[in-house]
Amino acid sequence: MDSILKDVATSTRPSGDAAGGELFDSLRLELRRGCLVLAVLAQLHVEHYGYTLRKSLADAGLEIEESTLYPLLRRLETQGLLTSEWREEEKRKKRFYRLSVEGERIFELLLAEWNRINDSIGRIVRKER
């Protein structure tokens, strides 16, 4: 799983921002959108609340804005891929998320798709070179 996140992080690291300009930013955003869902689902095999999830993704090299991540968690929960519960931790109530059974199933399918795409892109890029 860590290798997947590293792949995502490497492919989406904003090192080319200055060179790519607006078009690159737009295409990068599009590319990241699907990857973020996969990364969030992967990371929620272990229970997290919003802030710690963001930190763990950032530690793996995948920075996500809070204003993107927190609504995404809500959406994934509404879609039945996550479950959540309010619990007190360090004297503060927090909402903890983790993968649901359906989330596990969808994650496996998405991961297989991701690997297929990754392999294909790898083959295509190698052929180009």
Partner 1 sequence: MELLKRYLQAVGEHLPRRGREDTLAELRANLESEIEGREEELGRALTESELAAVLEAHGMPVLVASRYGAQHFLIGPTLFPVYWYTLKRSFPLVVLAYAVVQLVSIFLGSGSADDIGHQIGTVFGRFPGVALTFWGIMTLGFAAFEYGQGRFFPKLTLPRWSVRDLPPLERSEGKKHSFANGVADLIVSILIVVWLLAVPDHPYLIVGPGAKILHGMPFELTPEWHVFYWQILGLLIAMIPLKAMALVPSMCRVRGWLQLAVSALGVMILVAMVQMRTFFVAGSAVSMESLHSIEGINAGITLGFKLALAVSLVKFAWDLWKEISTGEHRRADYAAVL
- Please check whether residue 16 is in contact with residue 24, taking contact to mean a CB–CB distance below 8 angstroms: yes
Is residue 20 involved in binding partner 1 (CB under 8 A)? no
Is residue 15 involved in binding partner 1 (CB under 8 A)? no
Stretch that binds partner 1, among 1-9, 39-47, 51-59, 98-106 (CB under 8 A): 51-59
Pair of tokens at residue 75: 């959406």
Angle (deg, nearest 10), helices 17-43 and 2-12: 160
Q: In the complex with partner 1, which residue's Cβ is closer, 33 or 123?
A: 33
Which residue in 7, 74, 98, 111 binds partner 1 (CB under 8 A)?
74
Is residue 40 involved in binding partner 1 (CB under 8 A)? no
Distances (CA, A) of 39 to 35, 88, 105: 6, 26, 15
Is residue 107 involved in binding partner 1 (CB under 8 A)? no
